[in-house]
Structure 1
Amino acid sequence: MIAQTKVSLDRITSFLRLDDLQSDVIERLPKGSFDTAIEIVDGNFSWDLSSHNPTLKDINLRVCRGMRVAVCGTVGSGKSSLLSCMMGEVPKISGILKLCGTKAYVAQSPWIQSGKIAENILFGKEMDRERYERVLDACYLKKDLEVLSFGDQTVIGEWGINLSGG
């Protein structure tokens, strides 16, 4: 138990010693004020500011509202770093990063909150029945919910234990 406590404290200490994220990395524009959802112009970003080679160099990207974009590449090519840049998590060396509206990031490791299925879908937002139904359709969840006795009001156990089996 002492060893686990030391490891945990070391991790917390390491986290607390990190520099704060730069607040001026992203130029935030109000939703609907710009046709472009995300724009990067001549962006240079680096996880390590002391390095002479940026993690991402000369990035130019424009994603318009409503576009669907796939980020593809080989292992280590910078896909996750590009997404982290858009979240403002990678220090910007130079360039412009504009974001219009809100953003969400879904990590590569799935996770479920303890609570009702509906709460996991809404994720703290107010219920908008029309939008909620579109999400259920888009994720093909309606058949799954029909199998559950309480539908989307089914309580999910720790780690989704009562949803095991696929």
Structure 2
Amino acid sequence: MISLGRLDRYMMSRELVEDATKRDEGCDSRTAVEVKNGPFSCADESKEEDLKHINLNVNKGELTAIVGIVGSGKSSLLALILGEMHKLSLKVRVCGTTAYVAQTSWIQNGTTEENILFGLPMDRDRYQEVVRVCCLEKDLEMMEFGDQTEIGERGINLSGGQKQRIQLARVVYQNCDIYLLDDVFSAIDAHTLSEIFKVTLH
């Protein structure tokens, strides 16, 4: 009955407000992400402030890190920028297209290539460059059929680090203006992380 109650509350909850985040693709300002005058809430029917006094401004071309203890709201802030949180009295503005990588790796049942392209047409030069900067070349060489290897449901045949790098390659291939990365390097070894950081995030 408890599970049924949770399911009922979820199915009956309101859809997120479409204007929760103002999106301006191709705008001319220096600002990439702007959050003004928090608070915001996780629950649509609640007036409780899950995070408050949030003011954030990230300019185009900047690399910004959000740090804090476990449960302090880092992932919630990214969800707010994506328009997946209920704002109470604040302004959220995103200038450009966005790509997001979640903490938990999401891998579809298919080939490595399909997981990276994610429905986009193949640009062979760009694809090979993405594979290189995400340090996937050696991994593909070890796979029986290279990037045509079926990697199984939820990436069952992959290590945690390989899943994270395939996720990263997927968003890099999207060629967006803004990349939101939620703890995507936790399973990647220090040497590989250093290489990715130098060539991908700079």
TM-score bucket of the superposed structures, by smaller chain:
0.7 to 0.9
Partner SS for 1:98: strand
Structure 1 alignment gaps of length 5 or more: none
User: What is the aligned-residue identity percentage?
Assistant: 49
Residue 99 (str. 1) matches residue 94 (str. 2): yes
Whether contact under 8 Å (2:47, 2:88) holds in the other structure is: no
Whether contact under 8 Å (1:43, 1:94) holds in the other structure is: yes
Q: CA deviation at 1:104?
A: 2.3
Q: CA deviation at 1:31?
A: 2.9
Q: Distance in 2 between matches of 1:130 and 1:100?
A: 28
Residue 76 (structure 1) aligns with: 71
Residue 105 (structure 2) aligns with: 110
Q: Compute the RMSD of aligned alpha carbons.
A: 2.5
- State the Cα deviation string for residues 46-66 of structure 1 (Å, max 9, x = none): 2245345x2221211122223
Partner SS for 2:88: strand
How many residue pairs get matched?
160
Q: CA deviation at 1:95?
A: 2.2
Residue 47 (structure 1) aligns with: 42
For residues 42 and 67 of structure 1, do their structure 2 counterparts lie closer, same or farther at Cα, with a shift above 3 Å needed?
A: same
Which residue identity does 2:46 align to in structure 1?
S
Please identify the structure whose Cα radius of gyration is greater: 1
Q: Distance in 1 between matches of 2:140 and 2:58?
A: 34
- State the Cα deviation string for residues 90-111 of structure 1 (Å, max 9, x = none): 1111121111222222221113
Residue 152 (str. 1) matches residue 147 (str. 2): yes
Q: Which structure shows the higher strand fraction?
A: 1
* TM-score, scaled to structure 2: 0.69
* TM-score, scaled to structure 1: 0.82
Structure 2 alignment gaps of length 5 or more: 163-202
Partner SS for 1:97: strand
